[in-house]
Amino acid sequence: MRGFWKLLLVQAKLYLREPIATFFTIFYAPMMLLLFGAIYGNEPSPFFGGRGTMDIAVPSYIGLIIVTVGLISLPIGTAAARERGVLRRFRATPLHPLAYILSDIASYLLMTVIGVLLLILTGRVVFHIRFEGNILSVLAGFLLGTTAFFALGYLIAGLAPTARSAQTVGMILAFIMMFISGATIPLEVLPAKVRAISQYIPLTHVVTLMRGLWFGDSWGQHWKEVAVLVGCLLVGGALAVKTFRWE
């Protein structure tokens, strides 16, 4: 695994040198939280089962960060590195492909974690949000949702002929998912028909799982979400491996 740590560090630095990616990954969700918090506050509401809007928003917005990194940053970064010949240059060294992929995944995971931590911190400090779950359980759910979306992201990069097309596909999918999955607008607010459609959208299952685990649900209550996400991870991951190209 020679090269793994240095590559991880470099990838992370390069990510932070992209102002747009940095903004949407790290600052966008906390900003939304402050904005909607200022509008709705965090008073307990029977509509959310006695929880406040911000209590619901924080675990939901985790899905927002996951989809931003997984379906926008990752496919663009991967396809652009391929298109520019960066991957070709790595292949001409003894860097092992596994070391490359793992450090690539780790760098996107790191960015997602930073974004999520800042979101939770903002919620905690500004709105005193409630947390009723188990930290390890939430962490496991977060890792499942993140890796499932990374698999989809690598698949988009593998299928897209160019970085531009990866960007187009990734952004369209991401923006559709953001608004009808409960990641931005709570599912409870959406009309029944949209809620029905949302069941076919992977991000809905990330949001539902995160919200459930955040408030102490057991994994057994969310077998459906887990099944969908494990499916995305395995099928998406297998297809991503098949479609991955170095040049």
Partner 1 sequence: MSIAIEVNDLHKSYGPVRAVDGVSFTVEEGEIFGMVGPNGAGKTTTIECVEGLRRPDRGTVKVLGLDPQRDGYELRRRIGIQLQEAALHPRLKVWEALDLFSSFYPRRVDGKALLEQLGLADKRNAAFEKLSGGQKQRLFVALALINDPELVFLDELTTGLDPQARRAMWDLVRGIRERGKTVFLTTHYMEEAERLCDRVAIMDRGKIVALDTPENLIRSIGAEQRVVFTVDGQWDDTLLRGVPGVTRVERIGERTVVYGRGEGLVGGVVSALERMGIRFRDLRTEQPTLEDVFLALTGREMRE
> Which of residues 13 and 224 has its CB atom nearest to partner 1 in the complex?
13
Cα–Cα–Cα angle for 191, 196, 197, rounded to 5 degrees: 100
- Residue 3 touches partner 1, criterion: CB under 8 A: yes
Written as one letter, the residue type at 237 is G
124 binds partner 1 (CB under 8 A): no
Q: How far is the CB of 99 from partner 1 (least distance, A)?
A: 9
State the number of binding residues for partner 1 (CB under 8 A).
Answer: 22
Phi, psi of 73 (to 5 degrees): -60, -50
**Which segment (26-34, 81-89, 212-220, 234-242) binds partner 1 by CB under 8 A?**
81-89
- What is the closest distance, in whole angstroms, from the C-beta atom of residue 184 to partner 1 in the complex? 30
> What's the CA gap between 26 and 86, in Å, rounded?
26
Q: Applying CB under 8 A, does 224 fall inside the site for partner 1?
A: no
**Type of residue found at 171:** M
50 or 97, CB closer to partner 1?
A: 97
What DSSP designation does 188 have?
G
Q: How far apart, in whole angstroms, are the C-alpha atoms of residue 123 and residue 33?
A: 7
Coil/strand/helix, residue 51: strand
Q: Does 164 bind partner 1 (CB under 8 A)?
A: no
DSSP string for residues in 204-239: HHHHHHHHHHHTT--GGGGHHHHHHHHHIIIIIHHH
- Which residues in the 84-103 window bind partner 1 by CB under 8 A? 84-86, 88-89, 91-96
Residue 245 contacts partner 1 per CB under 8 A: no
Query: Which residues make up the interface to partner 1 (CB under 8 A)?
Result: 2-3, 5-7, 10, 13-14, 17-18, 81, 84-86, 88-89, 91-96
